[in-house]
Amino acid sequence: MKPQVMPKWAREITRFMSVKPQFILWGNIYDVYPMALPEGAVTTLKIMDYLKAFLKTNDYSLILGYEPLYGLKLLNGDAETFKKITREQIKSDAPLTTTPVRMAELAELLGASNETSSAIILNFASRIADIAPNDMQEFFYRMFRLAHRAIPVISGQSPHPRFNLVIWLLDKENDIPAWYTIDNVRVRMLSIPRPDYFLRKTVIDTLTKAIDGFKEAGEQKQREGVSLFIDQSSGLFASEMVAIVTMARRQQLQFAQISDAIRAYKLGIVENPWSGLDMQKIADSDTALLKRVKGQPEAVRRSCDIIKRAVFNLSGCQYWRHSQRPKGALFFAGPTGVGKTELAKAITELIFGSETSCLRFDMSEYAREHSDQRLVGSPPGYVGYDVGGQLTNAVKNNPFSVILFDEIEKAHHRILDIFLQILDDGRLTSGRGETVYFSETLIIFTSNLGIYETTTSGRRLQCVSSEMPYEDINARILQAIGDFFSYTIGRPEILNRIGDNIVVFDFIRPAAASLILDKMLKNVLDKIKDSYGMDVTLSQTAYQKLIEITCSDLSMGGRGIGNKLELALINPFSRLLFGLQGRTSLTINDITREGQSWRLTIDS
Protein backbone atom coordinates (compact mmCIF):
# COMPACT_ATOMS: atom_id res chain seq x y z
CA MET A 1 0.00 0.00 0.00
CA LYS A 2 1.38 3.39 -0.99
CA PRO A 3 2.06 5.40 2.20
CA GLN A 4 0.88 8.67 0.62
CA VAL A 5 -2.55 7.06 0.03
CA MET A 6 -2.80 5.51 3.48
CA PRO A 7 -4.68 7.59 6.09
CA LYS A 8 -2.67 8.80 9.06
CA TRP A 9 -4.45 6.52 11.53
CA ALA A 10 -3.64 3.46 9.40
CA ARG A 11 0.02 4.46 9.32
CA GLU A 12 -0.11 4.72 13.12
CA ILE A 13 -1.38 1.14 13.39
CA THR A 14 1.41 -0.05 11.11
CA ARG A 15 3.97 1.76 13.25
CA PHE A 16 2.70 0.44 16.61
CA MET A 17 1.29 -3.03 15.87
CA SER A 18 4.47 -4.66 17.19
CA VAL A 19 4.27 -2.83 20.55
CA LYS A 20 0.52 -2.35 21.17
CA PRO A 21 -1.96 -5.25 21.34
CA GLN A 22 -5.09 -3.07 21.18
CA PHE A 23 -6.11 -0.02 19.15
CA ILE A 24 -9.18 2.14 19.76
CA LEU A 25 -10.36 4.05 16.68
CA TRP A 26 -12.99 6.73 17.27
CA GLY A 27 -14.58 9.58 15.37
CA ASN A 28 -15.16 9.35 11.63
CA ILE A 29 -15.57 5.56 11.56
CA TYR A 30 -18.54 5.42 9.16
CA ASP A 31 -16.77 7.05 6.24
CA VAL A 32 -14.91 5.51 3.32
CA TYR A 33 -11.13 5.50 3.04
CA PRO A 34 -8.76 5.41 0.04
CA MET A 35 -6.73 2.29 -0.65
CA ALA A 36 -4.19 1.77 -3.40
CA LEU A 37 -4.76 -1.25 -5.63
CA PRO A 38 -1.86 -3.40 -6.92
CA GLU A 39 -2.17 -1.95 -10.43
CA GLY A 40 -1.70 1.58 -9.11
CA ALA A 41 -5.32 2.71 -9.05
CA VAL A 42 -7.06 3.90 -5.88
CA THR A 43 -10.42 2.72 -4.54
CA THR A 44 -12.48 3.68 -1.50
CA LEU A 45 -13.63 1.17 1.12
CA LYS A 46 -15.80 1.19 4.24
CA ILE A 47 -13.88 0.73 7.45
CA MET A 48 -14.45 -3.02 7.91
CA ASP A 49 -13.43 -3.73 4.32
CA TYR A 50 -10.53 -1.31 4.67
CA LEU A 51 -9.23 -2.93 7.86
CA LYS A 52 -9.63 -6.38 6.33
CA ALA A 53 -7.52 -5.42 3.29
CA PHE A 54 -5.08 -3.45 5.46
CA LEU A 55 -4.50 -6.34 7.88
CA LYS A 56 -4.11 -8.81 5.02
CA THR A 57 -1.44 -6.56 3.53
CA ASN A 58 0.33 -6.72 6.90
CA ASP A 59 0.24 -10.56 6.88
CA TYR A 60 -2.59 -11.09 9.37
CA SER A 61 -4.08 -14.33 8.12
CA LEU A 62 -7.02 -14.79 10.52
CA ILE A 63 -9.27 -11.71 10.63
CA LEU A 64 -12.57 -11.66 12.50
CA GLY A 65 -15.25 -9.03 12.96
CA TYR A 66 -17.54 -8.84 15.97
CA GLU A 67 -20.86 -7.00 16.07
CA PRO A 68 -23.10 -6.88 19.14
CA LEU A 69 -26.32 -8.82 18.63
CA TYR A 70 -25.03 -10.54 15.44
CA GLY A 71 -21.88 -12.18 16.79
CA LEU A 72 -18.45 -13.09 15.40
CA LYS A 73 -17.84 -13.34 11.65
CA LEU A 74 -14.87 -14.77 9.80
CA LEU A 75 -13.64 -12.04 7.46
CA ASN A 76 -10.49 -13.75 6.27
CA GLY A 77 -8.68 -16.98 7.07
CA ASP A 78 -9.23 -20.65 7.68
CA ALA A 79 -12.20 -21.82 9.75
CA GLU A 80 -10.27 -24.94 10.80
CA THR A 81 -7.45 -22.84 12.26
CA PHE A 82 -10.01 -20.88 14.25
CA LYS A 83 -11.57 -24.14 15.50
CA LYS A 84 -8.18 -25.54 16.45
CA ILE A 85 -7.40 -22.48 18.60
CA THR A 86 -10.82 -21.84 20.14
CA ARG A 87 -12.63 -25.19 19.81
CA GLU A 88 -15.54 -23.29 18.25
CA GLN A 89 -17.01 -24.02 14.87
CA ILE A 90 -17.40 -20.97 12.62
CA LYS A 91 -18.74 -20.76 9.08
CA SER A 92 -17.41 -18.41 6.46
CA ASP A 93 -20.94 -17.47 5.33
CA ALA A 94 -22.64 -16.98 8.71
CA PRO A 95 -21.62 -15.31 11.99
CA LEU A 96 -21.06 -17.23 15.19
CA THR A 97 -23.69 -15.97 17.62
CA THR A 98 -22.01 -15.22 20.92
CA THR A 99 -22.27 -12.92 23.93
CA PRO A 100 -19.70 -10.17 24.59
CA VAL A 101 -18.26 -12.19 27.48
CA ARG A 102 -17.84 -15.30 25.33
CA MET A 103 -16.29 -13.14 22.59
CA ALA A 104 -13.77 -11.87 25.17
CA GLU A 105 -12.92 -15.48 26.05
CA LEU A 106 -12.32 -16.28 22.37
CA ALA A 107 -10.16 -13.14 22.07
CA GLU A 108 -8.06 -14.39 24.99
CA LEU A 109 -7.47 -17.72 23.24
CA LEU A 110 -6.60 -16.04 19.92
CA GLY A 111 -4.36 -13.44 21.60
CA ALA A 112 -2.23 -16.12 23.27
CA SER A 113 -1.92 -18.38 20.21
CA ASN A 114 1.09 -18.52 17.88
CA GLU A 115 -0.72 -20.78 15.42
CA THR A 116 -1.45 -17.81 13.17
CA SER A 117 -1.43 -14.00 13.25
CA SER A 118 -4.96 -12.94 14.15
CA ALA A 119 -6.95 -9.73 14.57
CA ILE A 120 -10.43 -9.08 15.93
CA ILE A 121 -12.29 -5.94 14.89
CA LEU A 122 -15.00 -4.86 17.36
CA ASN A 123 -17.44 -3.04 15.09
CA PHE A 124 -20.17 -0.80 16.59
CA ALA A 125 -18.40 -1.21 19.94
CA SER A 126 -20.24 1.86 21.29
CA ARG A 127 -23.46 -0.17 21.14
CA ILE A 128 -22.24 -3.22 23.13
CA ALA A 129 -23.43 -1.70 26.41
CA ASP A 130 -26.92 -1.16 24.91
CA ILE A 131 -27.20 -4.77 23.73
CA ALA A 132 -25.79 -6.55 26.78
CA PRO A 133 -25.71 -4.16 29.77
CA ASN A 134 -25.39 -6.99 32.32
CA ASP A 135 -22.18 -8.32 30.72
CA MET A 136 -20.27 -5.04 30.63
CA GLN A 137 -18.22 -5.30 33.82
CA GLU A 138 -16.90 -8.76 33.03
CA PHE A 139 -16.45 -7.95 29.34
CA PHE A 140 -14.35 -4.83 29.94
CA TYR A 141 -12.34 -6.57 32.66
CA ARG A 142 -11.48 -9.50 30.39
CA MET A 143 -10.50 -7.21 27.50
CA PHE A 144 -8.43 -5.02 29.86
CA ARG A 145 -6.73 -8.13 31.28
CA LEU A 146 -6.09 -9.40 27.73
CA ALA A 147 -4.34 -6.13 26.81
CA HIS A 148 -1.94 -6.45 29.76
CA ARG A 149 -1.30 -10.20 29.44
CA ALA A 150 -0.76 -10.20 25.68
CA ILE A 151 2.68 -11.40 24.54
CA PRO A 152 4.18 -10.71 21.12
CA VAL A 153 4.46 -13.93 19.11
CA ILE A 154 6.07 -14.94 15.86
CA SER A 155 3.42 -16.24 13.51
CA GLY A 156 2.55 -16.15 9.83
CA GLN A 157 5.11 -14.86 7.35
CA SER A 158 6.43 -12.02 9.54
CA PRO A 159 9.88 -12.81 11.00
CA HIS A 160 9.42 -10.26 13.82
CA PRO A 161 7.40 -10.73 17.01
CA ARG A 162 4.13 -8.82 17.08
CA PHE A 163 0.78 -8.92 18.82
CA ASN A 164 -2.41 -10.60 17.80
CA LEU A 165 -4.58 -7.49 17.62
CA VAL A 166 -7.88 -6.24 18.95
CA ILE A 167 -9.22 -3.13 17.17
CA TRP A 168 -12.13 -1.21 18.69
CA LEU A 169 -14.38 1.06 16.58
CA LEU A 170 -16.11 3.72 18.69
CA ASP A 171 -18.35 6.68 17.88
CA LYS A 172 -16.83 8.87 20.59
CA GLU A 173 -13.72 8.73 22.72
CA ASN A 174 -15.69 8.46 25.96
CA ASP A 175 -17.79 5.48 24.80
CA ILE A 176 -15.29 3.28 26.62
CA PRO A 177 -14.66 3.64 30.40
CA ALA A 178 -11.95 6.13 31.27
CA TRP A 179 -10.17 3.63 33.52
CA TYR A 180 -9.67 1.41 30.48
CA THR A 181 -7.55 3.92 28.59
CA ILE A 182 -6.02 6.39 31.08
CA ASP A 183 -2.31 5.61 31.52
CA ASN A 184 -2.86 2.29 29.75
CA VAL A 185 0.37 1.84 27.77
CA ARG A 186 -1.00 -1.28 26.13
CA VAL A 187 -3.77 0.54 24.30
CA ARG A 188 -3.36 3.12 21.51
CA MET A 189 -6.19 5.67 21.08
CA LEU A 190 -6.46 6.97 17.51
CA SER A 191 -8.83 9.68 16.38
CA ILE A 192 -10.15 9.40 12.83
CA PRO A 193 -10.86 12.97 11.67
CA ARG A 194 -12.74 14.13 8.62
CA PRO A 195 -10.60 13.97 5.49
CA ASP A 196 -7.83 16.57 5.35
CA TYR A 197 -6.61 18.23 2.16
CA PHE A 198 -4.30 15.40 1.10
CA LEU A 199 -6.87 12.69 1.76
CA ARG A 200 -9.50 14.64 -0.16
CA LYS A 201 -7.08 15.09 -3.04
CA THR A 202 -6.37 11.35 -3.12
CA VAL A 203 -10.07 10.51 -3.25
CA ILE A 204 -11.05 13.28 -5.70
CA ASP A 205 -8.18 12.56 -8.11
CA THR A 206 -9.71 9.11 -8.51
CA LEU A 207 -13.39 10.06 -8.52
CA THR A 208 -13.28 12.87 -11.07
CA LYS A 209 -11.99 10.55 -13.80
CA ALA A 210 -15.43 8.91 -13.84
CA ILE A 211 -17.31 12.16 -14.57
CA ASP A 212 -18.45 12.79 -18.13
CA GLY A 213 -16.24 15.27 -19.95
CA PHE A 214 -13.17 14.78 -17.76
CA LYS A 215 -11.07 13.16 -20.48
CA GLU A 216 -12.15 15.74 -23.04
CA ALA A 217 -11.17 18.67 -20.81
CA GLY A 218 -7.64 19.93 -21.29
CA GLU A 219 -4.98 19.31 -18.67
CA GLN A 220 -5.30 22.84 -17.31
CA LYS A 221 -9.09 22.56 -16.98
CA GLN A 222 -8.70 19.18 -15.29
CA ARG A 223 -6.36 20.65 -12.68
CA GLU A 224 -8.67 23.61 -12.09
CA GLY A 225 -11.75 21.38 -11.73
CA VAL A 226 -10.01 19.01 -9.33
CA SER A 227 -8.68 21.94 -7.29
CA LEU A 228 -12.17 23.45 -7.12
CA PHE A 229 -13.65 20.12 -5.96
CA ILE A 230 -10.96 19.75 -3.27
CA ASP A 231 -11.48 23.26 -1.94
CA GLN A 232 -15.28 23.12 -1.93
CA SER A 233 -15.34 19.69 -0.26
CA SER A 234 -13.62 21.02 2.86
CA GLY A 235 -15.48 19.65 5.87
CA LEU A 236 -17.23 16.90 3.90
CA PHE A 237 -16.81 13.18 4.46
CA ALA A 238 -15.16 11.08 1.77
CA SER A 239 -18.45 9.20 1.35
CA GLU A 240 -20.10 12.55 0.54
CA MET A 241 -17.54 13.14 -2.21
CA VAL A 242 -18.49 9.79 -3.66
CA ALA A 243 -22.16 10.79 -3.42
CA ILE A 244 -21.49 14.07 -5.28
CA VAL A 245 -19.85 12.25 -8.18
CA THR A 246 -22.64 9.64 -8.22
CA MET A 247 -25.24 12.41 -8.34
CA ALA A 248 -23.35 14.24 -11.10
CA ARG A 249 -23.26 11.11 -13.25
CA ARG A 250 -26.94 10.36 -12.60
CA GLN A 251 -27.91 13.89 -13.65
CA GLN A 252 -25.52 13.67 -16.62
CA LEU A 253 -23.57 16.74 -15.53
CA GLN A 254 -20.29 17.45 -17.27
CA PHE A 255 -16.95 17.79 -15.47
CA ALA A 256 -17.10 21.54 -16.08
CA GLN A 257 -20.34 21.62 -14.03
CA ILE A 258 -18.87 19.96 -10.94
CA SER A 259 -19.51 23.10 -8.85
CA ASP A 260 -23.25 22.73 -9.64
CA ALA A 261 -23.17 19.15 -8.34
CA ILE A 262 -21.39 20.26 -5.15
CA ARG A 263 -23.88 23.08 -4.60
CA ALA A 264 -26.85 20.77 -5.22
CA TYR A 265 -25.49 18.24 -2.74
CA LYS A 266 -24.82 20.81 -0.02
CA LEU A 267 -28.10 22.67 -0.41
CA GLY A 268 -30.30 19.77 -1.44
CA ILE A 269 -31.78 21.84 -4.29
CA VAL A 270 -30.84 21.56 -7.94
CA GLU A 271 -32.66 24.69 -9.16
CA ASN A 272 -30.71 27.90 -8.53
CA PRO A 273 -32.89 31.04 -8.48
CA TRP A 274 -29.79 33.23 -8.82
CA SER A 275 -29.08 31.77 -12.27
CA GLY A 276 -32.62 32.38 -13.52
CA LEU A 277 -32.90 36.07 -12.73
CA ASP A 278 -34.21 38.60 -15.24
CA MET A 279 -31.01 40.52 -15.97
CA GLN A 280 -32.85 43.54 -17.35
CA LYS A 281 -34.84 43.71 -14.13
CA ILE A 282 -31.62 43.67 -12.10
CA ALA A 283 -30.03 46.26 -14.39
CA ASP A 284 -33.00 48.57 -13.69
CA SER A 285 -33.07 47.74 -9.98
CA ASP A 286 -32.42 51.37 -8.96
CA THR A 287 -35.68 52.48 -10.57
CA ALA A 288 -37.66 49.54 -9.20
CA LEU A 289 -36.47 50.01 -5.62
CA LEU A 290 -36.96 53.80 -5.62
CA LYS A 291 -40.64 53.26 -6.49
CA ARG A 292 -41.02 51.41 -3.19
CA VAL A 293 -38.46 53.11 -0.92
CA LYS A 294 -38.96 56.87 -0.98
CA GLY A 295 -36.38 59.51 -0.17
CA GLN A 296 -33.29 57.28 -0.03
CA PRO A 297 -31.57 57.58 -3.43
CA GLU A 298 -28.04 57.15 -2.05
CA ALA A 299 -28.94 54.09 0.03
CA VAL A 300 -30.72 52.50 -2.94
CA ARG A 301 -27.79 53.20 -5.28
CA ARG A 302 -25.26 51.65 -2.86
CA SER A 303 -27.50 48.63 -2.32
CA CYS A 304 -28.00 48.08 -6.04
CA ASP A 305 -24.24 47.99 -6.60
CA ILE A 306 -23.96 45.13 -4.10
CA ILE A 307 -27.00 43.33 -5.56
CA LYS A 308 -25.51 43.44 -9.06
CA ARG A 309 -22.21 42.14 -7.70
CA ALA A 310 -24.06 39.32 -5.95
CA VAL A 311 -25.99 38.36 -9.09
CA PHE A 312 -22.75 37.87 -11.00
CA ASN A 313 -21.26 35.94 -8.05
CA LEU A 314 -18.35 38.36 -7.63
CA SER A 315 -18.60 38.82 -3.86
CA GLY A 316 -15.32 37.90 -2.21
CA CYS A 317 -13.65 36.93 -5.48
CA GLN A 318 -10.75 39.28 -4.74
CA TYR A 319 -9.70 36.84 -2.02
CA TRP A 320 -10.59 33.58 -3.78
CA ARG A 321 -12.31 33.11 -7.09
CA HIS A 322 -14.29 30.10 -5.79
CA SER A 323 -15.45 31.94 -2.68
CA GLN A 324 -18.22 30.26 -0.67
CA ARG A 325 -19.11 33.44 1.19
CA PRO A 326 -22.70 34.75 1.12
CA LYS A 327 -23.70 36.45 -2.10
CA GLY A 328 -23.40 39.78 -0.34
CA ALA A 329 -23.55 41.52 3.04
CA LEU A 330 -25.26 44.86 3.65
CA PHE A 331 -25.31 46.94 6.82
CA PHE A 332 -28.23 49.40 6.84
CA ALA A 333 -27.79 52.19 9.41
CA GLY A 334 -29.87 55.28 10.09
CA PRO A 335 -32.80 56.74 12.01
CA THR A 336 -35.93 54.74 12.78
CA GLY A 337 -38.71 54.62 10.21
CA VAL A 338 -36.63 55.67 7.20
CA GLY A 339 -37.02 52.47 5.14
CA LYS A 340 -34.23 50.10 6.22
CA THR A 341 -36.49 47.08 6.71
CA GLU A 342 -38.64 48.12 3.77
CA LEU A 343 -35.60 48.17 1.47
CA ALA A 344 -34.57 44.71 2.69
CA LYS A 345 -38.04 43.37 1.80
CA ALA A 346 -37.98 45.18 -1.54
CA ILE A 347 -34.60 43.61 -2.37
CA THR A 348 -36.00 40.17 -1.50
CA GLU A 349 -38.97 40.64 -3.80
CA LEU A 350 -36.72 41.95 -6.58
CA ILE A 351 -34.44 38.90 -6.46
CA PHE A 352 -36.73 36.04 -5.44
CA GLY A 353 -40.12 37.38 -6.52
CA SER A 354 -41.66 37.31 -3.04
CA GLU A 355 -41.07 38.76 0.41
CA THR A 356 -41.53 35.28 1.90
CA SER A 357 -37.88 34.57 1.10
CA CYS A 358 -36.85 37.23 3.62
CA LEU A 359 -35.88 35.49 6.87
CA ARG A 360 -36.16 38.17 9.55
CA PHE A 361 -34.58 37.89 13.00
CA ASP A 362 -35.30 40.63 15.56
CA MET A 363 -32.00 40.74 17.41
CA SER A 364 -33.56 42.39 20.48
CA GLU A 365 -34.86 38.88 21.23
CA TYR A 366 -31.27 37.65 21.52
CA ALA A 367 -30.00 40.00 24.22
CA ARG A 368 -29.08 37.27 26.71
CA GLU A 369 -25.63 35.68 26.73
CA HIS A 370 -26.78 32.18 25.78
CA SER A 371 -29.33 33.31 23.19
CA ASP A 372 -26.97 32.05 20.50
CA GLN A 373 -28.33 28.58 21.26
CA ARG A 374 -31.70 29.71 19.91
CA LEU A 375 -30.02 30.53 16.58
CA VAL A 376 -27.84 27.43 16.13
CA GLY A 377 -29.44 24.97 18.56
CA SER A 378 -28.57 23.61 21.98
CA PRO A 379 -25.46 21.43 22.32
CA PRO A 380 -25.83 17.68 23.04
CA GLY A 381 -27.22 16.94 26.48
CA TYR A 382 -29.23 20.16 26.79
CA VAL A 383 -32.97 20.73 26.44
CA GLY A 384 -33.95 21.36 22.83
CA TYR A 385 -30.91 19.63 21.32
CA ASP A 386 -33.06 17.58 18.93
CA VAL A 387 -34.99 20.65 17.71
CA GLY A 388 -32.08 22.53 16.11
CA GLY A 389 -31.59 26.29 15.82
CA GLN A 390 -33.97 28.90 14.43
CA LEU A 391 -31.37 30.31 12.04
CA THR A 392 -29.84 27.02 10.93
CA ASN A 393 -33.26 25.40 10.44
CA ALA A 394 -34.55 28.37 8.43
CA VAL A 395 -31.54 28.48 6.09
CA LYS A 396 -31.51 24.69 5.71
CA ASN A 397 -35.16 24.79 4.61
CA ASN A 398 -34.69 27.84 2.37
CA PRO A 399 -31.03 28.21 1.33
CA PHE A 400 -31.90 30.80 -1.35
CA SER A 401 -33.02 33.75 0.76
CA VAL A 402 -32.31 37.19 2.16
CA ILE A 403 -31.51 37.01 5.88
CA LEU A 404 -32.39 40.17 7.79
CA PHE A 405 -30.84 40.68 11.23
CA ASP A 406 -32.82 43.64 12.55
CA GLU A 407 -31.28 46.03 15.12
CA ILE A 408 -28.05 44.09 15.39
CA GLU A 409 -26.62 46.27 18.17
CA LYS A 410 -29.29 44.95 20.60
CA ALA A 411 -28.00 41.36 20.39
CA HIS A 412 -25.62 40.05 23.03
CA HIS A 413 -22.02 40.56 21.96
CA ARG A 414 -21.34 36.81 22.11
CA ILE A 415 -23.91 36.21 19.38
CA LEU A 416 -22.00 38.46 17.00
CA ASP A 417 -19.23 35.86 16.84
CA ILE A 418 -21.62 33.66 14.86
CA PHE A 419 -21.46 36.18 12.02
CA LEU A 420 -17.69 35.83 11.74
CA GLN A 421 -18.04 32.28 10.46
CA ILE A 422 -21.04 33.10 8.27
CA LEU A 423 -19.34 36.06 6.57
CA ASP A 424 -15.95 34.33 6.26
CA ASP A 425 -16.74 30.71 5.39
CA GLY A 426 -20.38 30.88 4.34
CA ARG A 427 -21.36 28.04 6.64
CA LEU A 428 -22.44 27.34 10.19
CA THR A 429 -22.63 24.15 12.23
CA SER A 430 -25.83 23.63 14.19
CA GLY A 431 -26.00 22.21 17.70
CA ARG A 432 -26.89 18.85 16.13
CA GLY A 433 -23.66 18.85 14.16
CA GLU A 434 -25.30 19.59 10.79
CA THR A 435 -23.49 21.99 8.46
CA VAL A 436 -25.71 24.71 7.00
CA TYR A 437 -24.46 26.69 4.00
CA PHE A 438 -25.05 30.43 3.48
CA SER A 439 -23.34 30.69 0.07
CA GLU A 440 -26.65 31.42 -1.72
CA THR A 441 -27.97 33.96 0.78
CA LEU A 442 -27.81 37.73 0.97
CA ILE A 443 -27.13 38.97 4.51
CA ILE A 444 -28.58 42.31 5.67
CA PHE A 445 -28.00 43.91 9.07
CA THR A 446 -29.93 46.94 10.27
CA SER A 447 -28.94 49.28 13.10
CA ASN A 448 -29.80 52.59 14.79
CA LEU A 449 -26.21 53.13 15.94
CA GLY A 450 -25.10 56.76 15.89
CA ILE A 451 -28.57 58.27 16.18
CA TYR A 452 -28.51 58.58 19.96
CA GLU A 453 -25.91 58.42 22.69
CA THR A 454 -26.37 57.82 26.39
CA THR A 455 -24.56 60.13 28.80
CA THR A 456 -22.94 58.99 32.04
CA SER A 457 -26.01 60.28 33.90
CA GLY A 458 -28.26 58.04 31.81
CA ARG A 459 -29.73 60.76 29.58
CA ARG A 460 -30.31 59.89 25.94
CA LEU A 461 -29.17 62.60 23.54
CA GLN A 462 -29.78 62.75 19.80
CA CYS A 463 -26.50 62.90 17.86
CA VAL A 464 -27.91 63.70 14.43
CA SER A 465 -30.99 65.57 13.25
CA SER A 466 -32.93 66.23 10.09
CA GLU A 467 -31.51 69.79 10.00
CA MET A 468 -28.06 68.38 9.24
CA PRO A 469 -26.96 67.69 5.63
CA TYR A 470 -26.74 64.06 4.60
CA GLU A 471 -22.92 64.18 4.36
CA ASP A 472 -22.62 65.09 8.06
CA ILE A 473 -25.17 62.45 9.07
CA ASN A 474 -23.27 59.83 7.06
CA ALA A 475 -19.93 60.74 8.66
CA ARG A 476 -21.26 60.72 12.25
CA ILE A 477 -23.08 57.41 11.89
CA LEU A 478 -20.07 55.71 10.30
CA GLN A 479 -17.90 57.00 13.15
CA ALA A 480 -20.37 55.72 15.75
CA ILE A 481 -20.53 52.27 14.12
CA GLY A 482 -16.74 52.04 14.04
CA ASP A 483 -16.48 53.05 17.71
CA PHE A 484 -19.17 50.54 18.72
CA PHE A 485 -17.51 47.52 17.12
CA SER A 486 -13.92 48.54 17.84
CA TYR A 487 -14.18 49.89 21.38
CA THR A 488 -17.59 49.29 22.96
CA ILE A 489 -17.77 45.55 22.26
CA GLY A 490 -14.20 44.95 21.08
CA ARG A 491 -15.14 43.16 17.86
CA PRO A 492 -13.45 45.14 15.06
CA GLU A 493 -13.07 41.91 13.07
CA ILE A 494 -16.84 41.82 12.48
CA LEU A 495 -16.80 45.32 11.03
CA ASN A 496 -13.79 44.37 8.93
CA ARG A 497 -15.76 41.53 7.33
CA ILE A 498 -18.66 43.81 6.53
CA GLY A 499 -16.17 46.17 4.88
CA ASP A 500 -17.46 49.22 3.04
CA ASN A 501 -20.95 47.75 2.65
CA ILE A 502 -22.37 50.07 5.33
CA VAL A 503 -25.29 52.00 3.83
CA VAL A 504 -26.37 55.09 5.80
CA PHE A 505 -30.00 56.20 5.39
CA ASP A 506 -31.03 59.85 5.47
CA PHE A 507 -33.87 61.31 7.53
CA ILE A 508 -37.22 61.53 5.79
CA ARG A 509 -37.28 64.98 4.22
CA PRO A 510 -40.56 66.89 3.46
CA ALA A 511 -40.41 66.12 -0.28
CA ALA A 512 -40.11 62.39 0.43
CA ALA A 513 -42.77 62.53 3.17
CA SER A 514 -45.53 63.46 0.72
CA LEU A 515 -44.47 60.58 -1.55
CA ILE A 516 -44.63 58.16 1.38
CA LEU A 517 -48.07 59.48 2.32
CA ASP A 518 -49.30 59.05 -1.26
CA LYS A 519 -48.08 55.45 -1.29
CA MET A 520 -49.72 54.65 2.06
CA LEU A 521 -52.93 56.41 1.10
CA LYS A 522 -53.14 54.41 -2.11
CA ASN A 523 -52.73 51.19 -0.11
CA VAL A 524 -55.63 52.19 2.16
CA LEU A 525 -57.97 53.19 -0.67
CA ASP A 526 -57.12 50.08 -2.69
CA LYS A 527 -57.86 47.91 0.37
CA ILE A 528 -61.27 49.58 0.81
CA LYS A 529 -62.01 49.07 -2.90
CA ASP A 530 -61.00 45.39 -2.83
CA SER A 531 -62.80 44.56 0.42
CA TYR A 532 -65.98 46.63 0.20
CA GLY A 533 -66.28 47.61 -3.48
CA MET A 534 -66.23 51.31 -2.56
CA ASP A 535 -64.37 54.02 -4.49
CA VAL A 536 -63.15 56.60 -1.95
CA THR A 537 -61.64 59.90 -3.04
CA LEU A 538 -60.32 62.88 -1.09
CA SER A 539 -61.06 66.48 -1.91
CA GLN A 540 -58.13 68.84 -2.26
CA THR A 541 -59.01 70.35 1.13
CA ALA A 542 -59.03 66.94 2.85
CA TYR A 543 -55.81 65.91 1.15
CA GLN A 544 -54.00 69.10 2.25
CA LYS A 545 -55.28 68.60 5.79
CA LEU A 546 -53.94 65.02 5.71
CA ILE A 547 -50.51 66.26 4.62
CA GLU A 548 -50.45 68.79 7.44
CA ILE A 549 -51.49 66.16 10.01
CA THR A 550 -49.10 63.38 8.93
CA CYS A 551 -46.06 65.25 7.64
CA SER A 552 -45.65 68.11 10.10
CA ASP A 553 -43.41 66.07 12.43
CA LEU A 554 -41.03 63.65 10.64
CA SER A 555 -38.95 62.64 13.68
CA MET A 556 -40.39 59.10 13.56
CA GLY A 557 -39.96 58.75 9.80
CA GLY A 558 -42.29 56.72 7.64
CA ARG A 559 -43.74 54.82 10.60
CA GLY A 560 -44.75 58.12 12.16
CA ILE A 561 -46.57 59.07 8.95
CA GLY A 562 -48.35 55.72 8.97
CA ASN A 563 -49.34 56.05 12.62
CA LYS A 564 -50.86 59.51 12.06
CA LEU A 565 -52.63 58.35 8.89
CA GLU A 566 -54.22 55.62 10.99
CA LEU A 567 -55.44 58.14 13.58
CA ALA A 568 -56.67 60.81 11.14
CA LEU A 569 -58.15 58.66 8.36
CA ILE A 570 -58.43 54.93 9.04
CA ASN A 571 -59.94 55.16 12.54
CA PRO A 572 -62.69 57.71 11.72
CA PHE A 573 -63.47 55.95 8.41
CA SER A 574 -63.88 52.66 10.29
CA ARG A 575 -66.47 54.34 12.53
CA LEU A 576 -68.36 55.63 9.48
CA LEU A 577 -68.20 52.31 7.66
CA PHE A 578 -71.02 50.82 9.74
CA GLY A 579 -73.45 53.27 8.08
CA LEU A 580 -72.01 53.10 4.58
CA GLN A 581 -73.03 49.57 3.62
CA GLY A 582 -74.17 49.41 0.00
CA ARG A 583 -72.46 52.58 -1.16
CA THR A 584 -70.12 52.21 -4.14
CA SER A 585 -68.43 55.61 -3.95
CA LEU A 586 -67.93 58.57 -1.66
CA THR A 587 -65.76 61.67 -1.28
CA ILE A 588 -64.08 62.80 1.91
CA ASN A 589 -64.49 66.58 1.91
CA ASP A 590 -62.73 67.52 5.15
CA ILE A 591 -60.84 66.19 8.18
CA THR A 592 -61.38 67.96 11.49
CA ARG A 593 -60.27 67.34 15.04
CA GLU A 594 -62.71 66.68 17.88
CA GLY A 595 -60.87 66.50 21.18
CA GLN A 596 -58.32 63.69 20.96
CA SER A 597 -59.86 62.09 17.87
CA TRP A 598 -60.53 63.02 14.25
CA ARG A 599 -63.76 63.35 12.26
CA LEU A 600 -64.37 62.92 8.52
CA THR A 601 -66.84 65.03 6.58
CA ILE A 602 -68.17 63.10 3.57
CA ASP A 603 -70.62 63.87 0.79
CA SER A 604 -74.18 62.86 1.36
For the domain 279-504, what is the CATH code? 3.40.50.300
Compute the CA torsion angle 24, 27, 29, 31 (nearest 10 deg). -150
SS3 132: coil
CA gap 469, 534 in Å, rounded? 43
Alpha-carbon torsion 59, 60, 62, 64, what sign? negative
Contact 401, 357 (CB under 8 A): yes
The H-or-E segment that residue 515 falls in is helix 510-532
CA gap 228, 257 in Å, rounded? 11
Tell me the per-residue pLDDT of 164-206, one tens digit each, with 9 for 90 and over: 999 999 999 999 999 999 999 999 999 999 999 889 999 999 8
Give this prediction's pTM.
0.75
CA gap 513, 549 in Å, rounded? 12
As beta bridge partners, residue 167 has 23, 121
What pLDDT, on the 0 to 100 scale, is given for residue 383? Answer: 61
CA gap 447, 408 in Å, rounded? 6
Q: Which residue, among 147, 165, 192, 189, has the nearest Cα to 59 in the 3D structure? A: 165
Sequence letter at residue 131 = I
Q: Which residue, among 10, 21, 81, 22, has the nearest Cα to 51 in the 3D structure? A: 10
Neighbours of 593 (CB within 10 A): 12
What pLDDT, on the 0 to 100 scale, is given for residue 456? Answer: 74
CATH of 510-602, one of 1.20.1270.360, 1.10.8.60, 3.30.70.250, 3.30.750.24: 1.10.8.60
What pLDDT, on the 0 to 100 scale, is given for residue 2? Answer: 47
Contact 261, 244 (CB under 8 A): yes
CA gap 83, 89 in Å, rounded? 5
For the domain 8-192, what is the CATH code? 3.40.50
What pLDDT, on the 0 to 100 scale, is given for residue 149? Answer: 93
Q: Which residue, among 128, 127, 110, has the nearest Cα to 119 in the 3D structure? A: 110
| DSSP H helical ranges for 40-192 | 47-57, 79-86, 100-112, 128-131, 136-149, 178-181
Q: Which ranges of the chain have pLDDT less than 70?
A: 1-4, 155-159, 269-271, 315-323, 380-386, 604
Contact 436, 392 (CB under 8 A): yes
